[in-house]
Amino acid sequence: MELKNKHITIIGAGNLGLAITKGLLKSGLLQENKLTITKRKLDGLDQFVEKGIRVTSNNKEAAAQADIILLAVQPQQLSAVIEEIKDTLTNKLIISTLTGVKLHALQEYVGDTNQVVRAMPNTALAVQQSMTCISSNASKNNTQLVESIFAVLGKTIVIEDELMQAATVMGASGIAFWLRLVRATTQGGVQLGFDAPEAQKIAVQTCLGAASLLQNGSNHPESEIDKVTTPKGCTISGLNEMEHQGLSSALIQGLVTSFKKINEI
């Protein structure tokens, strides 16, 4: 299935639904008149109407005309939405971004005549830097199609569905974890004499730089750390103090605690 000429309906034009809409518009992957977005209260969506996108509260009509339905409502809203659109669900590709709704449950909801894919992006969608983890019950072609949609919004990886909760913690909650590290180093910078905007600028760019050193996948973090830790120097002294205070341990335990929590919800 090629994306051009396919009609996409996004049900749930909230934070995520609109970020995906904006990314798709920017990408030129599909024409505006091939995109419909839905929510119950339509105020604030004029800019999308002006661009030629169909905006509606009628999920059933919007689902009926779609080849691809992207579900971006809150998990507790899923059953009501499915109830509304179930008569239209034949031969559709259905993408769910809903936290915690497993592929087999989704497949049961929508029936066997439809193909289902889960996508777990993060809020860096807004700047086309999302890490989107994808699990799929769909054909190879349709899985690649979903990857191509999220590839315009950042990086993608296809994983087993049983790893999706872990992916949610690392990728979606991970935004909060990394931002707290940026915040903490900014506060440290202020204590060392910078004003807050300067300290944040240095923290953000250093964080981006560190991540970029690993982005082609061939480097190990520790080999890059070795390059900046002179024997008896200031970097290794600071780093070891952070480890004495539990830096790596706190991060690992935080991830594991989030993972336990997500499995209880």
Ligand X SMILES: NC(=O)c1ccc[n+]([C@@H]2O[C@H](COP(=O)([O-])OP(=O)(O)OC[C@H]3O[C@@H](n4cnc5c(N)ncnc54)[C@H](OP(=O)(O)O)[C@@H]3O)[C@@H](O)[C@H]2O)c1
The nearer residue to ligand X, 30 or 82, going by C-beta atoms, is 82
Binding ligand X by CB under 6 A: which of 6, 22, 75, 102?
75
Q: Minimum Å distance from CB 223 to ligand X?
A: 32
Helix or strand (DSSP H, E) at 8: strand 8-11
Q: How far apart are CA 56 and CA 58, in angstroms?
A: 5
Closest separation in Å from C-beta 151 to ligand X: 16
Least Å distance between CB 59 and ligand X? 5
C-beta of residue 30 within 8 angstroms of C-beta of residue 37:
no
How far is Cα 70 from Cα 98, in angstroms, rounded to an integer? 10
Check residue 120 for interaction with ligand X (CB under 6 A): yes
Cα 242 from Cα 232, distance rounded (Å):
16
Q: Which of residues 176-215 bind ligand X (CB under 6 A)?
A: none
Among 3, 8, 10, 11, binds ligand X (CB under 6 A): 11
Is 38 near ligand X (CB under 6 A)? yes
> In whole angstroms, what is the distance from residue 145 CA to residue 148 CA?
5
Stretch that binds ligand X, among 1-9, 15-23, 192-200, 248-256 (CB under 6 A): 15-23
| 54: nearest Cα among 69, 70, 31, 32 | 32
Sheet strands (E) in 72-228: 93-96, 115-120, 130-136, 154-158
Give whichever of 13 and 199 is closer to ligand X, judged by the CB atom.
13
Compute the least distance from the CB of residue 179 to ligand X, in Å: 13
Region 53-72 residues binding ligand X, contact defined as CB under 6 A: 59, 72
- CB count in 10 Å sphere of residue 261: 12
Q: Which lies closer to ligand X via its Cβ, residue 93 or residue 125?
A: 125
Under DSSP, is residue 58 helix (H, G, I), strand (E, B) or coil?
A: coil
Point out which span in 14-22, 106-114, 148-156, 210-218 binds ligand X (CB under 6 A): 14-22
Half-sphere exposure of residue 259: CA atoms within 13 angstroms, side-chain side: 14
- Among residues 98, 134, 146, 203, the one that binds ligand X under rule CB under 6 A: 98
Structure tokens at 35: 């995109």
Residues that bind ligand X (CB under 6 A): 11-17, 38-41, 59, 72-75, 77, 80-81, 97-99, 120-123, 172
